Amino acid sequence: MSIDRLRTYLDEMQQVAFETIDFVKDMSKDEFLRDLVRQRAVGMNLLMIGAATSRIMEEYPEFAAEFSNVPWQKMRGMRSRIAHGYMSMNLDTVWETAQTAIPDLLDQLHGLRHWHAQGE
């Protein structure tokens, strides 16, 4: 597998994470719970992050294992929960994820940007 593809997945995750933060910026939880459009936007972004995570875990398992501090399994699990139960998303979990897990993920992705593949 191409290292460029891995970087593309990581870049996509970063872009979508930044968008997610923008979607809920300056918004209270109550406002989020009343805003169907934002709920759907954040849910879709979490699904996209989970999809990129799944591709990384499947195509680059050694990379995912090397960076086991990144919650790969949780992100993939959230993608599955959203994809298979979109109409019954737990909005409290979605909100908490956008508020805490996504900023943490951005910090982790920043650290991964300095990773170099062996032999590179």
Domain assignments of the chain as residue spans, ordered by start = 3-112
Residue of higher predicted confidence among 21 and 118: 21
pLDDT for the residue numbered 116: 57
Cα–Cα nearest to 53, from 105, 114, 116: 105
Whether the Cβ atoms of residue 112 and residue 53 lie closer than 8 Å to each other: no
pLDDT for the residue numbered 65: 95
pLDDT digit string, tens, across residues 97-118: 999 999 999 999 988 876 655 4
pLDDT for the residue numbered 115: 67
